[in-house]
Every structure is written in structure tokens, then in C-alpha cells.
């Protein structure tokens, strides 16, 4: 899923099951049928996918020089076709070796090479941190997944009936604020301005609800803004402080942060987007990501994301029963299920992320204990597909052909 705006409106191709432009999730409202609800009633084990078990350990290949050359060729092919300036890739599994590469440039103006130690904006991968924070509060008995959001935040349409579980599972029925035309104009006319959570919610709440709670799956950034406010209310801390101190640090992440403004540690890559007021490509590195807040504002690097892929999928920071709740997926697209702020695509568990100028993919294949993480410095779609998905598909076709990370392309639409 992504935190992208709605200009490109590609679905689930980016992390977040629905790789929607800035707004993440535009155009995805999927019926949750009685059959899929029944199928989702049993938790999905960490290694299961909606369409079957994941690959056994022995099926993951040794990452030999020959395999590395295949991967190099596949990555370069995607870069050439989709015109990607730069990408970083990390692929590994215990006993199989490690493939870590950086391709292309971090700055098109200077020609500076991209490198694997660079910080990148990670878009909707932020959702996995916010939902982890919420689930920690569940473990502490401070919130319940079936509590209505109205218990914590007033003024939410259907707030007496929409639960925290439905918010985390993208089944609230609330309008996605980042698809609001007024929001798009406000952001693109001054992308360096700050937004408050309350301003973001106002863009959503002026629209009628899209459907009854739990009736459909519809990827929506509004849900995460509300969950971020719940975390703040129940911890007495700002969300960025809580996530930095209680999620990122205990996970062993030393190059991951939730910024409060446009700060961007060095070294970082520039980021290129066409989600602009004119539609022309601009550098978004200094844009203020506060508009994404709990849904998409965070920053990380390739090494930390590799660690986070495993922590997230295995539930290191949560009680086993709570992690099982998180992985209890509901069908979202063919071969793809969405749980609580996490997806399962053909056995790969994790999330993708996209916001102007940047994309990320952070996934884990449990039985092989394999991690695949990648970051890139553009969010410009290619033939309706998110670049992060194109890379994920190309790489997994080589190393896990029975478990190809693939999300359907969506037609490109204008505002």
C-alpha cells in the first residue's frame, strides 16, 4: 500500500496492498464476502499465504555469483524500462548468502551514485510501525481491537461502530483524505507546508462514508491517522516519540526515525515525482511528509528495513496471540490478503510504501526465513504498476518462482 496521492491511482502495487498515489488506496473497495470472512476467521500461520503454503527452506537458492548476475540483469531491466534513477536491494536467507546492491544515481543533477547506506523516505511502511504501536497497547491492556474509535476520538463518522480492528484492517468505510481534491491542491501548491492530524481528518470527514464498517476492503490513510491519535492519547506521548523509543529502538533499528517535519538525515537520496501541481517531474526530497504522519512519514535505510522485515513478520515485539491477530488476513486481491497493517502476497509478508519521490518494499518469506527489501528514489508508475512491485516481481521470479510477489496493475487516471 502506499501513501501516494491519488494522481496515479495504481492499486495494491505499492506497499500497502494498494499502491495508491499519495492517498494510498484510491479505487480499492473490495467486497468482503461471507466466504472470505469465514476463510479469514482462522489465523494465517506465519508462512501461510491466502493461496497456499510458502516455499520450504530448501527451495530458496544459494545466492551464488551466477544468481547474483541474474538478479543484476533483472533489476537493470526494470530500471531501464521504468526509467528509475536509483534503487537499492537487499535479499537474504539463512545459509543461502546475501545479495546487497545499489544501482543508479541518488541525484540526477550531479550524477552522484546511490549507495546502500543512504536514508530514504519509506511511505506506507510507516503503517506497520503505527499498527505495531497500537498492538503493543493491546498487549498492555490499554486498548482493545474491538473498541470503537469513538471511545478515543470524537467526531468520527460512524465512530460508535467503526472498531480499531477495522481501521487497522482497512475496512472502516471512511473516505481517504489524500483523495480529496482540496487536499491535493493544498499539498501540491505548497509541498513544504506542515499538516496537522486534525487538518487531515477534516479533508476526510467532509465526505460521506463509503460503506458500512467491515463491509469491504478499501485502503485508506485516514484509518492510520486515527490510530496514531489513539496511540498518542493512551501513551501520553507524541506518536513520533513513542515509535522512535518503543518500536524502532527495541527492534534494533538505529537508522530509522519518525520525523516531525521535513528533516532528512544525511546521506540521503533525492526523490523524483510527477505528483506535482503542474504534472512535471520535481525533486521532492525537501517536501514535508507530515501530510502522511502515521500513514507514511517515516525514514529508514536498507539495513534497518531488512531487520524490520523479520521483526514485523515474526512478531518479535508482540505477544504471539496478538501477532496471530495481525496475520489473520482477509482476501483483498487474488493471491493477496491484508491483515492488521500488513499484507500477505503469495506468502511474502510485509508492506510496501510510496509517497512523492520514494518507494519501498519490505517483505519476509517465513519458512525460508528470507527477507527482501528495496528502496528507490521515484514513485512514478510504469504502465500502471508501482516500480517497487516491478522490482519485487522480477526478483522473486528468479529466487522463489512458486511465490512471486505480484500485484495487478491499475489504469492510470488523472485528478
Displacement of CA 141 from its chain's centroid (Å)? 27
Give tens-digit pLDDT for 278-309: 999 999 999 999 999 999 999 999 999 999 99
Of 382, 377, 325, 344, give the one whose Cα is nearest residue 10: 382
Over range 324-334, report the average pLDDT. Answer: 91
Separation CA 148–CA 166 (nearest Å): 9
Query: How many of the other CB atoms lie within 10 Å of CB of 27?
Result: 20
Q: What is the pLDDT of residue 228?
A: 98
Q: How far apart are the first and last CA of the chain?
A: 19
Query: Confidence band (pLDDT; 50, 70, 90) for 318?
Result: very high
> Residues 124-165: pLDDT tens digits?
999 999 999 999 999 999 999 999 999 999 999 999 999 999
Distance CA 227, CA 130 (A): 7
CATH number of 30-399: 3.40.710.10
Q: Considering only residues 18 and 172, tell me which one the structure prediction assigns the higher pLDDT.
A: 172
- The Cα 222–Cα 228 span in angstroms is 10
Query: Residue 151: phi, psi to the nearest 5?
Result: -65, -25
Main-chain dihedrals φ then ψ at residue 229, nearest 5 degrees? -65, -35
**pLDDT number for residue 3:** 57
Residue range 365-383: mean pLDDT, rounded = 97
What average pLDDT does the segment 210-234 reach?
A: 97
Instruction: Return the pLDDT at 2.
Output: 54
The DSSP result for 106-157, as a single string, is: S-TTT-PBP-TT-BEE-GGGHHHHHHHHHHHHHHTTS--TTSBGGGTSTT-T
What does the pLDDT read at residue 332?
85
Compute the Cα dihedral for 50, 55, 57, 60 and give only its sign.
negative
What's the pLDDT tens digit per position in 15-42? 333 333 343 332 223 333 323 333 333 3
| pLDDT tens profile 59-112 | 899 999 999 999 999 999 999 999 999 999 999 999 999 999 999 999 999 999
Using 50, 70 and 90 to split pLDDT, how confident is the model at 334? confident
Residue 58 has a pLDDT of 47
Phi and psi at 128, nearest 5°, equal -65, -30
Would you place residue 12 in the very low, low, confident or very high pLDDT band (cuts 50, 70, 90)?
A: very low
* Residue-level pLDDT at 46: 36
Question: Cell 499539498, residue?
Answer: 187
192 within 8 A of 287, measured Cβ to Cβ: yes
Coil, strand or helix at 49? strand
Q: Is 361 helix (H, G, I), strand (E, B) or coil?
A: strand
Cell of 59: 527451495
Select the more confidently predicted residue: 6 or 405. Answer: 405
Q: What is the mean pLDDT of the chain?
A: 88
Query: What's the pLDDT band for 51 if we cut at 50, 70, 90?
Result: very low
> Is residue 61 classed as helix, strand or coil in its secondary structure?
coil
Amino acid at each position: 500500500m502506499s501513501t501516494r496521492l491519488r494522481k496515479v491511482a495504481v492499486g495494491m502495487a505499492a506497499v500497502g496492498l494498494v499502491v495508491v498515489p499519495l492517498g494510498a488506496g484510491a479505487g480499492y473497495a473490495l467486497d468482503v464476502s461471507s466466504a472470505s470472512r469465514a476463510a479469514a476467521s482462522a489465523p494465517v500461520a506465519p508462512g501461510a499465504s491466502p493461496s497456499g503454503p510458502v516455499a520450504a527452506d530448501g527451495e530458496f537458492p544459494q545466492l551464488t555469483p551466477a544468481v547474483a548476475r541474474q538478479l543484476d540483469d533483472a533489476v537493470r531491466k526494470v530500471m531501464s524500462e521504468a526509467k528509475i534513477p536509483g534503487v537499492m536491494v537487499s535479499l537474504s536467507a539463512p545459509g543461502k548468502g546475501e545479495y546487497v546492491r545499489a544501482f543508479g544515481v541518488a541525484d540526477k543533477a550531479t550524477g552522484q551514485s546511490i549507495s546502500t547506506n543512504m536514508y530514504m523516505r519509506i511511505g506506507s511502511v510507516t503503517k506497520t510501525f503505527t499498527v505495531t504501536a497500537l498492538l503493543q497497547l493491546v498487549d498492555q491492556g490499554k486498548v482493545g481491537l474491538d473498541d470503537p474509535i469513538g471511545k478515543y476520538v470524537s467526531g468520527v463518522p460512524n465512530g460508535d461502530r467503526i472498531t480499531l480492528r477495522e481501521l487497522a484492517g482497512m475496512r472502516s468505510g471512511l473516505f481517504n483524505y489524500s483523495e480529496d481534491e482540496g487536499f491535493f491542491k493544498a499539498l501540491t501548491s505548497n509541498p513544504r507546508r506542515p499538516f496537522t492530524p486534525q487538518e487531515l481528518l477534516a479533508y476526510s470527514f467532509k465526505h460521506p462514508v463509503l460503506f458500512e464498517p467491515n463491509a469491504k476492503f478499501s485502503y485508506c490513510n485516514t484509518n492510520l491517522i486515527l490510530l496514531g491519535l489513539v496511540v498518542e492519547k493512551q501513551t501520553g506521548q507524541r506518536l513520533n516519540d513513542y515509535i522512535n523509543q518503543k518500536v524502532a529502538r527495541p527492534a534494533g533499528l538505529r537508522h530509522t526515525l519518525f520525523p516531525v517535519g521535513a528533516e532528512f538525515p544525511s546521506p540521503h537520496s533525492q526523490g523524483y515525482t510527477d505528483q506535482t501541481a503542474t504534472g512535471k517531474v520535481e525533486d521532492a526530497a525537501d517536501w514535508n511528509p507530515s501530510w502522511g504522519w502515521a500513514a507514511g512519514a517515516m525514514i529508514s535505510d536498507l539495513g534497518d528495513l531488512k531487520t524490520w522485515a523479520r521483526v514485523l513478520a515474526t512478531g518479535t515485539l508482540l505477544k504471539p496471540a496478538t501477532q496471530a491477530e495481525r496475520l489473520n488476513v482477509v482476501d483483498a486481491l487474488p493471491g493477496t490478503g491484508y491483515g492488521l497493517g500488513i499484507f500477505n502476497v503469495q506468502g511474502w509478508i510485509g508492506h510496501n510504501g510510496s509517497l512523492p519521490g520514494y518507494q519501498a518494499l519490505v517483505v519476509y518469506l517465513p519458512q525460508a526465513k528470507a527477507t527482501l527489501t528495496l528502496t528507490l528514489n521515484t514513485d512514478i508508475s510504469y504502465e500502471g504498476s508501482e516500480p517497487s512491485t516491478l522490482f519485487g516481481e522480477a526478483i522473486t521470479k528468479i529466487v522463489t518462482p512458486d511465490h512471486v510477489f505480484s500485484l495487478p496493475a491499475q489504469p492510470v487516471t488523472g485528478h
